[in-house]
Structure 1
Amino acid sequence: MDEKGDFKETLCDDVQGMLALYEAAYMRVEGEQVLDEALEFTKTHLAVIAKDPCDSLSRNEIQQALNLPLRKRLPRLEAVRYIPIYQQQPTHNELLLKLAKLDFNILQSMHKKELSQICKW
């Protein structure tokens, strides 16, 4: 097998790497053939991986990415969606997780207060 084939085989075994390449490929501009090919490659392989019943966490993350790339999502809504995913990862940082939850709750509280004030007008 050639070096290019080895690379593709290794990448297919790395779901997080494949997702990162997929998301990065969306940063391309018109005419970037390498990133166009990377996008097609990752779409095809992620769709196959998403059908694997073994890893539901990766499957959900892949399906969401294929439906709507990260750069096209609203950051705050993405944060609330990602917190439970991050919490399930064995290597998560407990302090960072608490900070993310606190940040989201504070911002949500501020929005509720603002909405309440607007409704009173």
Structure 2
Amino acid sequence: MILNGCLLCNVDQFKAINDEGMPMYQRPFMKGKLYIHFTVEFPDSLSPEQCKALETVLPPRSGQQLTDMEIDECEETTLHDVNIEEEMRRKQAQAQEAYDEDDDMHGGAQRVQCAQQ
């Protein structure tokens, strides 16, 4: 998956991808947001030996284009900035509303009193 904007990710940042999260309750073909928490720690500096060690474990620098087959296997998506605290408050409020609606519903079993015959 190619993530547009990934280079703009800062240390300890949340992003979201719409319609790639968990399926919605009683709507299996509709999906929510996929939340991604990026925690990146960059060193202040690297020695030449550390640079060489990284070059041995990382893929080669991208000076070449992807092949058509590699492009076909990629799924392009866009990351959106997320204020995770605000999202959590919103979801908590929605859950409370659903709970309150259950309390307000009239119906279900009715009480029956015994009658003398």
Structure 1 or 2: more helix by fraction: 1
Does the TM-score normalized on the shorter chain lie above 0.5?
Answer: no
Given the two structures, how large is their TM-score scaled by the length of structure 2? 0.30
- Larger relative contact order (CA 8 Å, sep ≥ 6): 2
Which of 1 and 2 has greater Rg? 2
Structure 1 or 2: more strand by fraction: 2
